[in-house]
Structure 1
Amino acid sequence: MSNSVEATAPAGGGVQSVDRALTILQVLARAGELGVTEIAAELGVHKSTAFRLVATLESHGMVEQHQGRGKYRLGVGLLRLAGATTARLDLVQEARPVCRQLAQDTGETVNLAVLSGSSALYLDQVAGTSALQTHNWVGQHIPLHATSNGKVLLAGLPPARREELVGRLPSYTSATITQRARLREELTAVATQGWAVAVDELEMGLAAVAAPIRSAHGDVVASMSLSGPTFRLTEARIAEVLPALLQAADEVSHRMGWGRR
């Protein structure tokens, strides 16, 4: 009876399938290798259901079948995911002392961001010593076209990939860039000069200047920015702190392997 209900009941099926797929990964992590029949028993589902779930995980490289034994084990796709997480943790670890020093030297808040899907994900933030600070951005996804970090990340991409990510350009303030042609021009300038500025583009009263962080291969893998209120982070002030920001971003890049021989 339970098997027939399982096969026909659609309610919550998507979430249930995700839960079962994650359970399979946990079971394989514990057991090492299991056949479909054993996996089905662990989940308490029909063998055909277990096979469909395993086949989906296999198609994404999350599990792989041991040749000749018919058993499944964790796949290299998990290693790629773990590697991406490790790379981000390494970035934060390498950048943190540099960000602290930059925040201390300038008094402004230092932010670290990476590309995540079609937005910028803020990985770390070090508050400056100035009395008025911006709010905590860590863990938030921020629009690429309306932030200095986002512009740096976009400018570091190949043109074709850049166009894929730049879809609709919503307006957040009257200063937000909403025309694709204008954004292209700005990104070209960012790529040439090696830094980006955003003033009042995401929020009125918020200014930021950002510089790229590069990998050992020279690819832009992250962006470091100084941010603060526009009354303090004026055009003259941005010009004043820019050299320190560029030096700090280069230092993190070197820590990540860029420029090493």
Structure 2
Amino acid sequence: MAQRNNAATEKDADAHGGGVQSVDRALQILEILARDGDAGASEIAEEMGVHKSTVSRLVGSLVGGELVRQNSERGKYQLGFGVLRLASSIPGRLSVVREASDILERLAAEYKETVNLAVLRSNYAVNVDQAMGPSSLATYDWVGSLTPLHATSSGKVLLAALPVDERDQLLKKVGLPARTPRTVTNRAELEKQLLEVSRQGYAVVHEELEIGLTAVAVPIYNHLGNVIAAMSISGPAFRFTPEDDPGLIKGLCEAGLTISARMGFRRR
């Protein structure tokens, strides 16, 4: 009797809430299935703290919309192909430039330096957006500029994310020309740096592209966990020393993950 009353109470609450509670619970069910792979109605109901009949009713609607399917052998529920159909329409509508724009502006204002967003195109790091900090000494517009991958912080982030064979082909094609006396032109040394970039999650360069210019960059991920861009902060070497400011590197890394989340990436 108590269980029937609880189920009735939940149904009444859904009705009075205009269906909002049902939507919230349906989303919670999808989250549980995404996390666990599969689950039975009783397991879901226990975790959500609701009656099994409530879960069965909601799952029935999700099954009807092909968002959930039932495993015929085990009787448990799994995410359905409808989720994949919906998700596949998202990446094409997302623009990393649009999703990152306000964060670039915020970082430029906070750290008072130049912030750039770059992608890998035609064997170069191509800057596709930029925000200037109030203390920036330079007024150079990097947007559209093709910069060498091996001599820039963004380039090293993009290189580090490439499969080894793809990176090898690319570097054999473009070489490692020196842009300044500090440019890394030794392949073994570069590979060592790229391993460190992968390990620590960011890249720092000191005067490798231009004398007097220091930069630090972090990766931007898409919904598949692939690196699709790099975001950097650069400034004059005499005052900009990222390694001496852990807060800056941490802030840049968090900002990169925020943009990545907007692109569909989920932290593990």
Q: What range describes the TM-score normalised by the shorter chain of this pair?
A: 0.5 to 0.7
Residue type at the aligned position of 2:108: A
**Conservation of the 8 A alpha-carbon contact between 1:134 and 1:228:** no
Q: Which runs of 5+ in 1 are unaligned?
A: 1-85
Partner of 2:180: 173
2:261 to 247, 254, 258: 254
Partner of 1:222: 229
Task: Report the TM-score, using the length of structure 2 for normalisation.
Answer: 0.62
Residue type at the aligned position of 2:106: Q
**Conservation of the 8 A alpha-carbon contact between 2:202 and 2:216:** yes
Matches within 5 A, 1:238-249: 238-249=245-256
Partner of 2:88: none
Residue type at the aligned position of 1:219: N
SS of equivalent residue, structure 1 residue 137: coil
- Give the Cα–Cα distance (whole angstroms) in 1 for the partners of residues 261 and 134 of structure 2: 26
**Conservation of the 8 A alpha-carbon contact between 2:119 and 2:228:** yes
Residue type at the aligned position of 1:226: I
Q: CA deviation at 1:239?
A: 3.3
Correspondence 1:139 to 2:141: no
Partner of 1:113: 118
Partner of 1:63: none
Identity %: 48
Residue type at the aligned position of 2:228: V
Q: Which runs of 5+ in 2 are unaligned?
A: 1-90
Residue type at the aligned position of 1:165: L
Partner of 1:69: none
Residue type at the aligned position of 1:241: L
Matches within 5 A, 1:1-261: 90-133=95-138, 135-167=140-172, 168-259=175-266
Partner of 2:34: none
- Give the Cα–Cα distance (whole angstroms) in 2 for the partners of residues 182 and 87 of structure 1: 37
**Conservation of the 8 A alpha-carbon contact between 2:117 and 2:230:** yes
Aligned length: 176
Q: Deviations over 1:69-95 (max 9, x none)?
A: xxxxxxxxxxxxxxxxx9697111000
**Conservation of the 8 A alpha-carbon contact between 2:136 and 2:235:** no
Q: CA deviation at 1:240?
A: 3.8
Q: CA deviation at 1:241?
A: 1.3
Q: Deviations over 1:33-80 (max 9, x none)?
A: xxxxxxxxxxxxxxxxxxxxxxxxxxxxxxxxxxxxxxxxxxxxxxxx
Question: CA 1:147 to 1:260, structure 2 compared with 1: closer, same or farther past 3 Å?
Answer: closer
- Give the Cα–Cα distance (whole angstroms) in 2 for the partners of residues 106 and 87 of structure 1: 32
Flag as ranges the 4+ runs of structure 1 deviating above 4 A: 86-89, 235-238
Q: CA RMSD in A?
A: 1.9
**Conservation of the 8 A alpha-carbon contact between 2:94 and 2:263:** no
Task: Report the TM-score, using the length of structure 1 for normalisation.
Answer: 0.64
Partner of 1:17: none
Question: CA 1:260 to 1:249, structure 2 compared with 1: closer, same or farther past 3 Å?
Answer: closer
**Conservation of the 8 A alpha-carbon contact between 1:209 and 1:238:** no
**Conservation of the 8 A alpha-carbon contact between 2:221 and 2:260:** yes
SS of equivalent residue, structure 1 residue 202: coil
Question: CA 1:238 to 1:154, structure 2 compared with 1: closer, same or farther past 3 Å?
Answer: farther
Of the two, which has the highest radius of gyration?
Answer: 2
Q: CA deviation at 1:237?
A: 4.7
- Give the Cα–Cα distance (whole angstroms) in 2 for the partners of residues 233 and 260 of structure 1: 29
Partner of 2:5: none
